[in-house]
Structure 1
């Protein structure tokens, strides 16, 4: 790991920061330390707990034990290490003849199905997690209106007001004011609190001198209902700031569900991302605010509502901090304690609304991220950064949430393209989103969630899933070794975010999307460094980052300013961009502003201060060496660095659809370099000064250490073109074995290799077996025969700005995956570039037969069907989902594009 002159090992930094902030020093030991030789052995067959998992959607839930068992075995055979049980909306009406019965959520019958699934999974050594609620966010019929998600309702009416609207059910008065102005623009300095009018007869009279308004503040509720609820799970979203509400949920839903886990607890209980829209108030807020902030919020409600002034921003900040306190203490901590009491763990996506902070990630035992926005602000980096700071070695992430819409369109290459972005953000446990429960009565290609990819065995390319999951397993396991080694810390301006809160909008992470700009993130990553976020409360955890970047920031707490000063005094380097912190954030903090300005003036005089993000790469280069030289890649290369006691590990990924070549220059001082293949576990020596190329969406694991390479490490060599002419494979036969939904088609001779070119086959989804013969002599020493496909083509990225989701922008020669056999023996699979396999050890002298089993997606089959009609379903259960991008479906090209050849290559050893 890079170290700058004067930084004495990092933990001294931690101790000084802790002393400055009155906290105990945090020291994180290197995790899972092993020798390089041990790593090599385990890398070949990593433990099962590094396997990817899937979110398993039970629709209804209308499930049977027979189907549960079948799907669990399919997951296991596909290489998945576990599943998360999640019950959502129904997809079929009850039908005794078909055996369809929607079980009521949390009923004894449904809980028995949970028990059965847990037993089946455990018998196969699989991890079983449980979503502790139906749909999301938590809530349901057990939540009365006074425990539902709260909001501050604000009514501004010009005087005279003739009629007072009645309060809605669950609403209670908070305060009333008169102020000069109009409902759109009023003078908060003139606001005068009055008795809350009980009825129309008690309304104040108009002042004839100038316009006046009546301001009413009401403790109300968002009335948000649980999204995508299962049958019996319908109801209000609970108040995430009310201890009473979460206790009600745990004592009803939680206790009921865990009866299915009496013999063995789930590995984790899960809470999805905080999507409690508009929730900015709770019944106890005025009392809690006064106790925590030291003054009464009620007289300041007009300023809270109107904003604009510095005083109003300070009030909004204090309001936001109080909301965060209540989410932490009344939602996150009770759930973590509940998990501990039930011998499990709380896995939580702790971001969104209401107002969670980065340091709140200390509370869940298993913080989880979401989103592949590796070069922008992302929830995934938010979570991995917290885990890096607070010593959690495993970072999970909901992965493939919006992958290549519509459902069934996503491919194995799409999966890799997103997973690699997650890896460079610090993820080392994939939670695939997801696996739709899909019984035999579901029309093929089966069920899907309204807006997500499908990774179950109904997708034809599932035949290569074991190879995909093996790749993910090896990378995940390697990225758990040692400790994280990101060199740059980026201070999140959370106090500014909270000061920018406004009624109905109280999300720290939403504010960060504008404060941590894509240009800022790309400047850091493009300079050859990876980055962790840190907030003011976590500055003392900076025990290894040699560089701290402070983006444009106005407000900072005194202890945070002192924390930066202690960090700099211990040898850490600091770069300030644009506006520097100068103001205490809250009302009672104002007395600290002079001392903050003094501390910051001293800091800025001894630190780098640049005007804007354009100057950042140069400023970084002057202070720390690049961790990996990625300058020539123009933002197309991401990497993650892990530091072991006697080695450095880099995961390097090309996130683009074009090849990228870059020098093998790293900040590591270790002399021996090796490429470790996550595809097959082989290890090949690498040349430190030799440039290397990553194919489109390619990735590599680089291991650097100080020892000598053992005998099992392959020497690097080039395969160069031979003078022997390639063998063109052109006389193909094609067999269509069919799938559950697509009929088998007759074998064709001299078939076109893109089967969708034929009108009769364009809606076929499944497997096609292409066979061709060729003659060959026995390979000579040093000679390799490769099965070689046409080059793929980069596609323009036409994703609309701001739209969720991603895909691989690449037109591959194999659509979408293939398994290759030579003379009846399995050679390997092809599901990402390079589309090439070495046939050498399978070649016979004389006649040979190559068989390429190609698999497309389920979208062609779906496109050939009439749109699915949910009219009767929604008439009974309501409109609980809207299928995404399912209109005007078209089949996509399937098969093999371009020529297929056997090409000869000759080994050329490198010097």
Structure 2
């Protein structure tokens, strides 16, 4: 905030982050703090560069990476953008079109970064803007890893001074001679074609005059690029394809039907939309096709209101990203906060807070361990998709757009407004649900395809067996010719395909996806198939899963870091495993040709002890937290601790639950049992007979009771539960509302209203159960 930082505190915070398991940071200078204006450091000043150089040096010492936005806030712009360099929109004056300034300024700019947004359709203004970074960043002794372009939010921009000339060169005619068609609102004959040509020119300019220029500029200076292409009027596949690290975004909650998963009731879906894997696949498809090793995501932006986000809400959103092909998670986010700043410290206006002041911080290493284990395996493998699906963007361009400036903005938030209603979107969603693995391909990327033996479609990142073209009324002639050329070379191309058609083709289908299991299939070397499988639904719990691959099957649980060999059946070409994966759980399944360790074979995979419920009284003792409470209670039934006393409705901290239980008659010690804690608000640290057995922080809140710790009678179970900070903020915000001292937008709630936690009801907290023990 305001770049008001010190070297000493940068070191302290980086060391905190490294200890928590974070692999790197991305620096985004933003607006400052009221009353701290004198501490602000102007962006790219000598002092700013000195503390940034210290950041890189210390991160390198700690084994961490550093990325930097090419500007402050977003989008690109700043004090060196003159009015003639700024974004423009067209205006009709008589029989011609002229450009007028949008006057948009950089959003959430930091001191020294304020100014107009740069024209995104002309390289000359962009290069003049980037010249500021040439002179500044060249003085750094060590460089950041990558430069970053945030999501396209250049509102209303639809023109540039050279647009008529560029249109004439690219489309072969003068737009001004078709002005009546261009401005038509009644869809007269010819207007649709002009509208498509106009949109295609806008997309070409964004690709060639902005994204490609910025990418080349960065690479020539030794930087990689991370680019969020979404929200733009371009073809997302072509824009993502230019970046070293394509980046998507997960904004809001996906509303998974996982039992026990909570969503913020105040989040306005109609206003902000929800994440969707089909939107995420634009970034991952570009990476898969071109063999880019990393594809990233801005993750869990506005997942819930401030002080209300739990780790159990975060994990399913990350699992969805993993199954969509993302393998490089960036948390959104954490705000630099000086050590002397009272709780809750300095906060960004948009939740989620991953910083040290968050209630999740003590347990963040557990999430980071999980993500690290997953990303290690996802980054160490390549996609194994059989199907390419052509993205017919001209279908969109033929329609009028309700967006500002009249151009189609392909955002990740409201895919229900543009992607899902398209025949392309409906077809791809049916593929996803039916268990087909696929990537998208654009008109331009078709040129990179070659046809190999057996008609395989080859790209730098992998091979595909079939290319499908969904129903499309507007297929460019050049694309028709390219598809015909590929078909003549032996490629299998299917027009207007449906699931029945695909069932007759030599492409693999994972039928178990129809039971609500999400997955990505990948390859390791030539002979190993690797699946990441996440149960983000409520249909499947356990059963036989027949995989399209064969071989010895190994299961890896990234939550526990445990490897097992599940029960397996096989045919000549496929393997079936008995998979227990309750809603909320995830795992890797790896199939290899090795026979060094055989899979277990048992007569009845469902055999085991039926679970019993711990129905005895619980002793509940308040521990450390705020405001201080020292009361002890005995509960015949588990309820939220907010019901125990008025003051408990404001408590944020840890409460210990204790109970004693015997194994049922006929059960013998010597067999591990599964402990299911039921509803936990929010994290539970568990001990059995005085020994720690683990921390349950995500759904379905299960841990293993080790056989060596279980006794026939008198088992002592202790569960320390930590809740959200929301209840304490209800008190804190009433007592000391002066913590909200941030400039610009200050701090707002999830509906973008001034933040006021005093209106909240107490959030349920503690162990709500039921608590069960058993192997089934």
Report TM bin, short chain. Answer: 0.7 to 0.9
The Cα shift of 1:498 comes to 3.2
**Secondary structure, aligned partner of 1:110:** helix
The aligned residue for residue 76 of structure 1 is 18
- Corresponding residue of 2:648: 761
Q: Do the aligned partners of 1:658 and 1:695 also contact (CA within 8 Å) in 2? A: no
Instruction: Show the 5 A alignment for 1:373-384.
Output: 378-384=278-284
Equivalent of 1:282 in 135, 156, 160: 160
What whole-Å deviation, never above 9, does each CA across 1:603-641 have from its counterpart, x for those lacking one?
A: xxxxx5xxxxxxx222222334542113641xx221111
Pair 1:176 & 2:94 matched: yes
Show the counterpart of 2:697.
831
CA distance in 2, matches of 1:819, 1:904: 19
What is the aligned counterpart of 2:765 among 891, 894, 897?
894
> How far does residue 499 in structure 1 lie from its aligned partner after superposition?
3.7
* Structure 1 SS opposite 2:732: coil
Cα shift at 1:387: 0.9
**1:560 aligns to what SS in structure 2?**
helix
1:219 deviates by 1.1
CA distance in 1, matches of 2:226, 2:46: 25
User: Structure 2: how far apart are the matches of 1:905 and 1:380?
Assistant: 37
| Aligned residue in 2 for 1:585 | none
CA distance in structure 2 between the aligned counterparts of 1:357 and 1:431, rounded to whole angstroms: 20
Cα distance change, pair 631–477 in 1 and its aligned pair in 2 (3 A): closer
1:369 and 2:238 correspond: no
Alpha-carbon shift at residue 75 of structure 1 (Å): 1.8
| Residue in 1 that maps onto 2:723 | 856
Task: Output one character per residue of 1:695-743: Cα deviation in whole Å (capped at 9) or x when no partner.
Answer: 12221211112111438x88889685559987656342424212xxx23
With over 3 angstroms needed to count, the CA separation of the structure-2 counterparts of 1:243 and 1:749, relative to structure 1, is same
Q: CA deviation at 1:281?
A: 0.5
Structure 2: distance between partners of 1:113 and 1:905: 55
Equivalent of 1:432 in 320, 325, 331? 331
- Residue 356 of structure 2: SS of its match in structure 1? coil
783, 803, 810: which one aligns with 2:671: 783
1:865 lines up with 2:764 in the alignment: no
Please name the residue that 1:556 is paired with: 475
Contact map agreement 2:199 2:233 (CA 8 A) in 1: no
Q: Does the CA contact (< 8 Å) of 1:630 and 1:662 recur in 2? A: no
Q: State how far apart, in whole Å, the 1-side matches of 2:364 and 2:660 are.
A: 28
1:145 aligns with 2:121: no
Equivalent-residue separation in structure 1 for 2:247 and 2:750 (angstroms): 25
Counterpart Cα distance in 1 of 2:393 and 2:703: 51
Once the two structures are TM-superposed, the CA of residue 334 in structure 1 deviates from its matched residue by 2.5
How many matched pairs?
714
Q: CA offsets, 1:72-91, max 9 Å, x none?
A: 22222222111111111224
Q: How far apart in 1 are the matches of 2:135 and 2:616?
A: 63
Q: Deviations over 1:303-323 (max 9, x none)?
A: 222262342332233322322
Q: For residue 198 of structure 2, what is the aligned residue in structure 1?
A: 319
Q: Distance in 1 between matches of 2:277 and 2:558?
A: 28
Structure 2: tracts of 5 or more residues without a match: 255-273, 412-417, 450-456, 569-574
DSSP 3-state at the match of 1:897: strand
SS of the counterpart of 2:48? helix
CA–CA separation in structure 2 for the residues paired with 1:696 and 1:452? 26
Gap change, CA 1:371 and 1:479, over 3 Å in 2: same
Instruction: Name the CA distance, whole Å, in 2 between partners of 1:227 and 1:468.
Output: 31
Distance 1:472 1:873, change over 3 A: closer
Partner of 1:108: 46
Judged with a 3 Å threshold, the aligned counterparts in structure 2 of structure 1 residues 774 and 869 are, in CA distance, closer, same or farther, namely: closer
Cα deviation for residue 123 of structure 1 reads 1.3
1:298 and 1:893 mapped to 2: Cα distance? Answer: 63
- Give the conservation status (yes or no) of the 8 Å contact 1:788–1:835: yes
Maintained 8 Å contact 2:235/2:393 = no
More divergent stretch after superposition (649-658 vs 375-384) = 375-384
1: distance between equivalents of 2:149 and 2:700? 39
Q: Deviations over 1:436-472 (max 9, x none)?
A: 2233454423343222211223222333222211111
Tell me, yes or no, if structure 1 residue 664 matches structure 2 residue 545.
yes
Shift of 1:147: 0.6
Structure 2 residue corresponding to 1:414, chosen from 313, 317, 323: 313
The normalised TM-score by structure 2 is: 0.84
Q: Does 1:647 align with 2:528?
A: yes
CA distance in 1, matches of 2:358, 2:399: 46
Identify the residue that residue 571 of structure 2 maps to in structure 1. Answer: none
| Alpha-carbon separation, structure 1, partners of 2:540 and 2:652 | 31
Work out the CA distance in 1 between the residues paired with 2:275 and 2:344.
35
CA pair 725-253 structure 1, distance change in 2 beyond 3 A:
closer
**CA distance change for structure 1 residues 496 and 786 in 2, over 3 Å: closer, same or farther?**
closer
2:678 pairs with 1:819 = no
Confirm whether residue 119 of structure 1 aligns to residue 3 of structure 2: no
Q: Which residue is 2:410 aligned to?
A: 509
Following superposition, the deviation at residue 756 of structure 1 comes to 1.5
**Residue in 2 that maps onto 1:190:** none
Matches of residues 127-166 of structure 1 in structure 2 within 5 Å? 127-154=65-92
Structure of higher CA gyration radius: 1
1:701 maps to 588
Q: Does the CA-based 8 Å contact 1:482-1:643 persist in structure 2?
A: yes
User: For the Cα contact (< 8 Å) 1:398–1:433, is it kept in 2?
Assistant: yes
Distance, in Å, in 2 between the alignment partners of 1:513 and 1:284 is 34
Does the residue aligned with 1:371 lie in a helix, a strand or coil?
strand
**Aligned pair in 2 of structure 1 residues 397, 528: CA closer, same or farther (>3 Å)?**
same
Is 1:218 the counterpart of 2:85? The answer is: no
Q: Could you tell me how far apart the structure 2 residues matched to 1:361 and 1:546 are?
A: 23
2:158, 2:202 within 8 Å by CA — same for their partners in 1?
yes
Distance 2:4 2:611 in 1: 61
Secondary structure of 2:29's partner?
Answer: strand
Residue 798 of structure 1 is matched in structure 2 by none
d(CA) in 1 for partners of 2:748 and 2:692?
Answer: 42
Task: Quote how far apart the aligned CAs of 1:904 are.
Answer: 5.6
Relative contact order (alpha carbons < 8 A, sep ≥ 6): 1 or 2 greater? 1
- Separation (CA, whole Å) in 2 of partners of 1:719 and 1:446: 51
CA, structure 1 residues 389+677, in 2 after alignment: closer, same or farther (shift >3 Å)? same
C-alpha displacement at 1:491, in angstroms? 1.1
CA contact (8 A) 1:327 1:356 kept: no
Aligned to 1:344: 223
CA 1:658–1:450: 2 relative to 1, 3 Å:
farther
CA distance in 2, matches of 1:881, 1:460: 18
Aligned-residue RMSD, C-alpha: 3.2
Structure 1 residues 286, 465: CA separation in 2 closer, same or farther (over 3 Å shift)? same
Using the TM superposition, give the Cα deviation of residue 767 of structure 1 relative to its aligned residue in structure 2, in angstroms: 2.5
**How far apart are the structure 2 equivalents of 1:533 and 1:427?**
15
Superposition deviation, residue 534 in structure 1? 0.9
For the residue of structure 1 that corresponds to 2:345, the secondary structure is: coil
Kindly tell me: are residues 631 and 869 of structure 1, through their superposed partners in 2, closer, same or farther at Cα, counting changes over 3 Å? closer
Distance 2:670 2:583 in 1: 28
Q: CA deviation at 1:678?
A: 1.1
Q: 2:431 aligns with which of 524, 529, 544?
A: 524
For residue 620 of structure 1, what is the aligned residue in structure 2?
502
Residues 167-213 of structure 1 show CA distances to partners (whole Å, capped at 9, x for unaligned) of xxxxxxxx522xxxxxxxxxxxxxxxxxxxxxxxxxxxxxxxxxxxx
**Residue segments in structure 1 that go unaligned for 5+ positions in a row:** 1-58, 155-174, 178-215, 578-607, 609-615, 791-812, 907-911
Tell me the equivalent position of 2:292. 392
**Residue by residue, what CA displacement relative to the aligned partner does 1:820-839 show, whole Å, maximum 9, x if unpaired?**
23455432111223323223
